[in-house]
Structure 1
Amino acid sequence: MLLAVGTATSAAAAPTDTVRYTFDGSFVLADVTGNGHDLSPVSRNGGAFGTVPHNGGKALVFPTPCHNEPCPRIALRAPTTAELNPGRRPIRYGASVRLAADQTTKGENIMQKGYSIRGSQYKLQVDGLAGRPSCVFVDDRRLAIHAAISNVGVADDRWHVLECRRTGSRLSILVDGLIRGRATLPAGLSVSNHIPFSIGGKGSFTDNDQFQGMLDDVWVEIS
């Protein structure tokens, strides 16, 4: 379901989403902003997503944990576009997630644009057995990973709203509207690459950081 992102003081100052997926309607992978960043699945070994009711609409369900290869894998990708590259500009992005304690792994991708080893990156993930979410940035010139890690976990089989906020050198992660972690980014850090925006995993290959829970209301806002 579509949720408000912030409160503007005037119509002229109202932020606009660069991309948003509510997973409702007849085409659940549509970008509801009308900007054309619709998703397409890439999968392997029978990887698929399902839908479940959530807040009067639908949410996505990703493959359950698999410990014996070959495992089902799937990611949802939007076509490559510079519109989803923030460069040095402020950016906010987030999602609603539901993850049980037995669905955690060393790393699960909620969304990402780019890779940490090349091309720069921004990312929202849930890592470790405690299921602690984090926001990640990597510069397009220096490959150091910078992360704001939440001090609380979300793997309790309940819905949680996650948000990453980057303004200048400040990076914050919010869980259910509260700041739960911060990091300082290098001055001038820029994210600009030709890699597709993806949800639920890096791709369909073996080490794809597969998301294994439920996901709804994915959005990105670049100022």
Structure 2
Amino acid sequence: MKILSFSALSLLLTLPAGTPATAAGADDPATTAAVGAPATAVDPATTAAVGAPATAVDPATTAAVGAPATAVDPATTAALVARYNFDGGATEGRVADLSGRGAPLTVRNAANGQITFTTEGTGRYAAFPAACAAPTTCGKALLEAPDDADLDPGTRNFTWAASVRLTAAQLSGNANIMQKGVAGIGSQWKMQVTGKSGRAQCVVAARGSAQTFAAISARPVADGAWHRVVCQRTGTTLGISVDGVAGSKTTLPTTATIDNTMPMRVGGPNLAGDGDMYHGQLDDLYAQLG
């Protein structure tokens, strides 16, 4: 894996927010189901289980900034419900889940878009197709896991995280990193990088409401370096941190429920048009309940 040093997550977030996120009209279900060419598979890295964190603690750790390291998983009883580090690449177009509770990610593409699994140091990361001048005909690809009750937190505490690397030139609008659901249709949780500011953003859309809620990172992440982005819903608070630095927070209604029948998608909301596709690199994604 290729990730940054990460300190214990703090949600003592100080900057009030509440700015609604823009719901991309391209958030329609994917329209193609072609499987991308799988990378050569290697054995997934083994990990050591440790005790369940009392709060949402990022399971990924590193020995040095900029150097890949072996991530340490919480025990499966810690409600880690999905985890992917890409060290094993893809076998027959599928990336294995390491949590013991999640489904594999399936490669989906359009116009021959490919996801490559690239070695850096002792780990590997997923690289998504580049942006191009004709977004409706460019090669596109994303990763998809089927609908799973563990990924529908309802009103429960929920954390989702990823290591991201991209440049400002790789932004062709908002770049969706990972999400489940669609704003305005059911409900949604999402992580994205905004096209205007290059900042990371965590978004929640509640079931039965047209309103979206967003927490925004304190600084841009589209600078060509690896950054660890963590989104966390705790009670009625939605917060974000990047490399352990807290960003804004926003208050959710007590009844804000996230529960939908959509798949979880990584690297874009769909394969139609430009679709807010992600054009950078990703590593060590996870989702955790509680």
Greater C-alpha Rg: 2
Confirm whether residue 219 of structure 1 aligns to residue 282 of structure 2. no
Further displaced range: 84-93 or 102-111: 102-111
Give deviations 1:185-208, integer Å, cap 9, x for gaps.
112211000000110011211142
Partner of 2:88: 25
AA matched with 2:83: R
Partner of 1:35: 101
Q: 1:2 to 1:104 in 2, by over 3 A?
A: closer
Report the alpha carbon displacement of residue 67 of structure 1 after superposing the two structures with TM.
1.6
Correspondences of 1:62-73 after superposition (within 5 Å):
62-68=128-134, 69-73=136-140
Could you tell me whether the CA contact under 8 Å between 2:81 and 2:100 is conserved in 1? no
Could you tell me whether the CA contact under 8 Å between 1:43 and 1:204 is conserved in 2? yes
Give deviations 1:40-68, integer Å, cap 9, x for gaps.
12211111101222452100000111121
Partner of 1:102: 169
Give deviations 1:144-193, integer Å, cap 9, x for gaps.
01101123101111000000011111111100011022111112211000
Q: Secondary structure at the match of 1:102?
A: helix
Provide the rounded CA distance (Å) in 1 between the counterparts of 2:262 and 2:83. 18
Could you tell me whether the CA contact under 8 Å between 2:170 and 2:279 is conserved in 1? yes
Partner of 1:59: 125
Provide the rounded CA distance (Å) in 2 between the counterparts of 1:35 and 1:149. 29
Further displaced range: 110-119 or 67-76: 67-76
The TM-score with structure 2 as length reference comes to 0.71
Partner of 1:117: 184
Partner of 2:115: 49
1:92 alignment partner, one of 146, 159, 163 = 159
Q: Secondary structure at the match of 1:157?
A: coil
Further displaced range: 117-126 or 50-59: 50-59
Could you tell me whether the CA contact under 8 Å between 2:190 and 2:203 is conserved in 1? yes
Give deviations 1:15-52, integer Å, cap 9, x for gaps.
33110000012547111112241011221111110122
AA matched with 1:46: N
Provide the rounded CA distance (Å) in 2 between the counterparts of 1:130 and 1:124. 15
Further displaced range: 152-161 or 22-31: 22-31
Is there any run of 5+ residues in structure 1 with no aligned partner, and where? none
Confirm whether residue 188 of structure 1 aligns to residue 272 of structure 2. no
1:126 alignment partner, one of 193, 196, 203 = 193
2:226 alignment partner, one of 159, 163, 166 = 159
Correspondences of 1:190-205 after superposition (within 5 Å):
190-205=257-272
Report the alpha carbon displacement of residue 129 of structure 1 after superposing the two structures with TM.
3.9
Partner of 2:67: none
AA matched with 1:57: G
Further displaced range: 132-141 or 32-41: 32-41
Provide the rounded CA distance (Å) in 2 between the counterparts of 1:26 and 1:133. 26
Report the alpha carbon displacement of residue 103 of structure 1 after superposing the two structures with TM.
0.7
Provide the rounded CA distance (Å) in 1 between the counterparts of 2:277 and 2:191. 13
Is there any run of 5+ residues in structure 2 with no aligned partner, and where? 10-49, 55-73
Q: Secondary structure at the match of 1:152?
A: strand
Q: CA RMSD in A?
A: 2.2
Correspondences of 1:164-183 after superposition (within 5 Å):
164-183=231-250
Q: Secondary structure at the match of 1:203?
A: coil
Q: Secondary structure at the match of 2:160?
A: strand
1:149 alignment partner, one of 209, 216, 236 = 216
